[in-house]
Structure 1
Amino acid sequence: MNLSFDHLVWFFKKPEEAILPLKQKGIHVVNGGRHKSWGTYNTLSYFGLNYIEFLGIENLSIAEKHDENRLITQIVEQLAKENREGPATIAIRTNQIEELAIKLKSEGLKVYGPLTGERIRADGQLIKWSLLFPESKEQKVLLPFFIEWEKTDEERYSELEHQGLIGSHALGEAKLESVGFVVNNLEKTLEVWKNLFDLKQGEEYIDTEINARCRILKLSGTNLLFCTPFGEGPAAKILKEKGETPFLVNITNTNQSRFFEMFDGYWKFQ
């Protein structure tokens, strides 16, 4: 079963307000469109087929009606009720979403979906996909959700390239190298993800900038970096304030070395 990184979802009250600050950092962000049936809208920053989605609520009364779509229930809870912005979850791309649903159910997970989704792009075109949301029944384990696009990777890449959305960063040929998660128990979390999704892991190392023990799980497109803090620092701060969550974006091929906090998350340019 082919699994690839698709996108990082970043909850943001007004997604359009991410465009200028990131442009000033050399990152290209564009208006994405609206999910009318969900009451949400977004802006997007592409790194090939992988991207960061800044997702906001446009119509709370519509968003509050959703239960099966766990991304929308999550954004209502965190953004509307808790007023909490920042990196929230990731989507992993698959081309076998029905088979994946069966597999995850057999592993004892509660599964929502597959559900259909659609967005009206800024240019008026309608795009469609399917979503799958696994949740642990017994213990709170941080898990991704899954997406299967209506069009093939090749078709989508060609469209994005035609629209000028790929390779548009002032930083150069920037690559979304990894997305970092802060977790309480590094070993336990790695074991769950490794077994469920058959991902290989790299060597453990210490990241002194965030003051945490870290290890990568290798995923096609963009790696997943899991970190457990061992003292005060950015990782400990996020874990204390938000719990287990994505919190760090590592972007390579930028011809610079920077580490900074922005939009309630951390960014590392290399």
Structure 2
Amino acid sequence: MAQQFTWDHTVDFVDDLKQAEQAFADQGLTASYGGKHVGHGTENSLAYFGDNYLEFLTLYSRKEALAETPQRGQIFHDAGELLPEFEGFYRPALHVHGIEAAAERLRSKGVELGEIVPGNRTTANGEEIRWQLLWLLGDDHGLRYPFVIDWDADEATQLERYENSGLLHRHPLGEVSTRRAIFEVPDPAGISAHWADLFDLERTHGTDDNGREYYDLAVGGGRDWRFVKGDYNGITELQYTVPAGKSFDVTIGKARYRSVTD
């Protein structure tokens, strides 16, 4: 049976967490401080959209971040190298059950991997949450690969954790759900086919209302990653569904967040 990969969250590098939180608040969205990755040089704020969430990430210590190796702490090392000059989407995370099997699959496809790295934190109510991370090293024609996370919990348990965090269903705008990520890449057909093969994702092809050709990968929960032709070579936009009559459109650095009707 093929390993199932589903879209877990997306990391957005920002220079100032408070400014990012305020930009969301101005549009009726809630992002709240998550905490420091002690010893790794970064800290975050989180915005939850059902079982898919957004992580604003910034530096508190460039020295600590740069001391990390790509094999064990790629995200921290990259934050140290890229911030503050680069402010935009970094890369998404794919969730799996059984990260060792996922690693075997990816190795069999010829991808260079870092180590499987354990992590944990204790919530405000005293619950210890554990996870494991796997970094895909290198890139796909300049496009950063997703990273892989295993929360060591089934979907119901994980959603309950999000509920207990107090951040679900707290957007003043109402119920907001993640719908799509837009990847602008030089070769949408080739890259989407490679990622579909790597992660065993269903791939479809179409044309949007503006006549632009796209390739979609189904990443679970009715969400997709849409690949379109462009020079940026990364995620440019996250799209969301919102209650009838509501809308938002906010840009932070190179990252755009907006509501859509489809």
Measured after TM superposition, the shift of residue 216 of structure 1 is 1.4
For residues 92-107 of structure 1, what are the structure 2 equivalents within 5 Å?
Answer: 92-107=94-109
Tell me the secondary structure at the aligned position of residue 166 of structure 1. Answer: coil
Write out per-residue CA displacement over residues 96-147 of structure 1, whole angstroms, 9 at most, x where no aligned residue.
1111111111111110021122346577765331111123589545311000
Task: Determine if contact 2:42/2:59 at 8 Å carries over to the other structure.
Answer: yes
Map 1:21-60 to 2 at 5 A: 21-60=23-62
Q: Which residue of 1 aligns with 2:218?
A: 218
CA distance in 2, matches of 1:177, 1:58: 31
Equivalent AA in structure 2 for residue 10 of structure 1: D
Figure out how many residues of one structure are paired with residues of the other and give that number: 254
Mapped contact 2:43–2:59 kept (Cα < 8 A): yes
Query: Shift of residue 214 of structure 1?
Result: 2.3
Distance (Å, rounded) in 2 between the aligned partners of 1:77 and 1:186: 27
State the match for 2:115 in structure 1: 113
Say which is worse superposed, 168-177 or 112-121, in terms of deviation: 112-121
**Matching of residue 162 in structure 1 with residue 202 in structure 2:** no
Does the Cα contact within 8 Å between 1:33 and 1:122 map onto a contact in 2?
no
Q: Select 1:144's aligned residue among 137, 143, 146.
A: 146
Quick one: structure 1 residues 20 and 260, their matched pair in 2 at CA, closer, same or farther if it must change by over 3 Å? closer
Letter in 2 for 1:266: R
- The residue number in structure 2 matching 1:232 is none
Counterparts in 2 of 1:159 and 1:259: CA distance versus 1, 3 Å:
closer
Residue 166 of structure 1 and its aligned partner are, at CA, apart by 1.0
- Tell whether the 8 Å contact from 1:35 to 1:118 is kept in structure 2 after alignment: no
Q: 1:78 to 1:171 in 2, by over 3 A?
A: same
Note the C-alpha offset of 1:35: 0.8
Residue among 198, 212, 234 paired with 1:245: 234
Indicate the RMSD between aligned Cα atoms, in angstroms.
2.3
Q: CA deviation at 1:2?
A: 2.2
2-side partners of 1:56 and 1:160: how far apart? 22
Q: Is the 8 A contact 1:35 1:120 kept in 2?
A: no
Following TM superposition, by how much is the alpha carbon of 1:45 offset from its aligned partner in structure 2, in angstroms?
Answer: 0.3
Q: Select which of 65, 70, 73 maps to 2:74.
A: 70
User: Which TM-score applies when normalising by structure 1?
Assistant: 0.85
Deviation at 1:157, TM superposition (A): 1.5
Query: Is this contact kept in 2: 1:36–1:119, CA < 8 A?
Result: no
- Note the residue ranges of structure 2 that are not aligned, 5 or more in a row: none
Amino acid in structure 2 at the alignment position of 1:130: Q
Q: Deviations over 1:72-104 (max 9, x none)?
A: 222122115xx1111110000011111111111
Q: Please say if residues 7 and 51 of structure 1, whose CA atoms lie closer than 8 Å, have aligned partners that are also in contact.
A: yes
What's the offset of the Cα at 1:262? Answer: 3.2
Q: 1:159 to 1:257 in 2, by over 3 A?
A: closer
Aligned to 2:256: 266
Contact 1:37–1:62 (CA under 8 A) maintained in structure 2: yes
C-alpha spacing 1:44/1:17, structure 2 compared with 1 (3 Å): same
Q: 1:184 to 1:131 in 2, by over 3 A?
A: same
| Aligned counterpart, 1:199 | 201
Q: Distance in 2 between matches of 1:149 and 1:137?
A: 24
Contact 2:249 2:258 in 1 (8 A): yes
Q: Which is further off, 128-137 or 57-66?
A: 128-137
The TM-score, its normalising length taken from structure 2, stands at 0.88
CA distance in 2, matches of 1:175, 1:195: 27
Cα distance, 1:136–1:263 mapped onto 2, change above 3 Å = closer
Letter in 2 for 1:224: W
The secondary structure found in structure 2 opposite 1:115 is: strand
- CA separation in 1, counterparts of 2:213 and 2:257? 18
